[in-house]
Amino acid sequence: MSILAGQQRVGKREGRTDMDKWRSGGLAVRNGTVEDLDAIARLERDSFAEDQVSPRSLAHFLRAAHKPVIVAVMDGEVAGYALLSLRKDSRAVRVDSIAVDPRFARRGAGSALLQACEKYARSHTCFPTEPRRRAADLRG
């Protein structure tokens, strides 16, 4: 099942969400895929001096249903990502890592990622919790 299932398509006038407005403005938020691994690993490495998620772990998370990865795409490139944890015995979603490429800062990517995290949490009847790690340039 898609992390962001239930979004309205761009072009429909009724029920458009803020996410659709961002998508129509050149920013798309979608599920991360294994094809995004290199870009996400680069962002992780460039954003965090310590406590980095390894490329091997990122590859695992991109395949795991309980560790969803959301990406923001601008100009055909991964502009940012968020890695979430969904615990089996809890109703909480934790943002384990979130980063925005500085080239795309102040263009809405960070806000779109946070909104997508909240939407994911609500759709799984969970409650978003505080990020465990510092966020890299969320001024987007």
Q: Residue 25 sits in a domain of what CATH number?
A: 3.40.630.30
pLDDT at 73: 97
Would you say residue 59 lies in a domain?
yes
Would you say residue 8 lies in a domain?
no
44 has a pLDDT exceeding 70:
yes
Tokens for 26, please give them.
């050149």
pLDDT at 93: 81
- pLDDT-derived band at 89 (thresholds 50, 70, 90) equals confident
How far apart CA 107 and CA 79 sit, in angstroms, is 10
100 has a pLDDT exceeding 90:
yes
Would you say residue 83 lies in a domain?
yes
How far apart CA 139 and CA 33 sit, in angstroms, is 25
pLDDT at 35: 96
pLDDT at 101: 96
Would you say residue 54 lies in a domain?
yes
129 has a pLDDT exceeding 80:
no
- pLDDT-derived band at 66 (thresholds 50, 70, 90) equals confident
Would you say residue 98 lies in a domain?
yes
Would you say residue 12 lies in a domain?
no
| Rounded-to-10 torsion of CA 79, 117, 87, 96 | 40
Report the percentage of the chain scoring pLDDT > 70: 71
pLDDT at 126: 62
Range of the domain at 91: 18-128
pLDDT at 131: 52
How far apart CA 103 and CA 97 sit, in angstroms, is 19
Would you say residue 116 lies in a domain?
yes
Domains of the chain: total:
1
pLDDT at 36: 97
